[in-house]
Copies of this chain bind each other. A is one copy, B any other.
Amino acid sequence: MTTTRPLRVGLFCFDGTEELDLVGPWEVLTAWAAVSPLRPQVLTFSADGAPVRCAKGLRLLPDTSAEQIGSLHVLVYPGGAGTRPLCIDHEHLAWLRAQRVTTPVIASVCTGALVLAAAGLLAGRPATTHWAAFDELAALDGSVLADREARYVDDGDVITSAGVSAGIDMALHLVARLEDVATARAVRREIQYDPAPPV
């Protein structure tokens, strides 16, 4: 990045967004915004700006709408059960293709990759998704190069993450890429991300 304009990050949310898909990256990116000289602006938005009901029932009031969000450097696209209707929503897919043209980085979490595939954004690309969604991904676009091992796949202008909690790791990678490793480590320390799954 060589612009001095504030770096804008938008997290798209919709009915049926899986909660942690959205809030994992949100926590990492807003913790980054709190300390970074790049002054990143991190916002949530829904298609029409209205509240959304997430996959497990959490209700969110997004900051703004797709129309109002404006130009983004990074678009974060979470997964969740709500991705399935979006995969066949031609108006939404056209919007996503238009975002592709103006957005340097589109980063999905979990089954957000299905919508990216449905829009044609993963054609011929390496990509990952939730472990249970690779058949769906192949059905949407047989040319996607499935990576079943990666925690996230950074293909430059498109990043895809594995299921749910993988968005936390992907977002730390984004901070390292957009600023530097030392800053990403500081964010990791701030959210005390020294995971120790007890089971």
Task: Tell me the dominant secondary structure on chain A's binding face.
Answer: mixed
Q: How many copies does the complex hold?
A: 2
Contact A192 B164, CB 8 Å, known A31-B56, A184-B199: yes
Q: Are A192 and B130 in contact (CB under 8 A)?
A: yes
A92 contacts the other chain (Cβ, under 8 Å)?
no
Interface residues of A in 13-59 (CB under 8 A from B): 18-20, 23-24, 26-27, 30-31, 33-34, 42, 44, 51, 56-59
Q: Please indicate the chain B residues that have their CB under 8 angstroms from the CB of A20 in the complex.
A: 23-24, 26-27, 191
Q: Total interface residues on A, using CB and 8 Å?
A: 51
* A27 and B168 alpha carbons, distance in the complex (Å): 13
Q: Please indicate the chain B residues that have their CB under 8 angstroms from the CB of A195 in the complex.
A: 165, 168-169, 193, 195, 197
Q: Please indicate the chain B residues that have their CB under 8 angstroms from the CB of A34 in the complex.
A: 56
Q: Which residues of A contact B (CB under 8 A)?
A: 18-20, 23-24, 26-27, 30-31, 33-34, 42, 44, 51, 56-61, 63, 110, 130-131, 151, 162-166, 168-169, 172-173, 175-176, 181, 184-185, 188-199
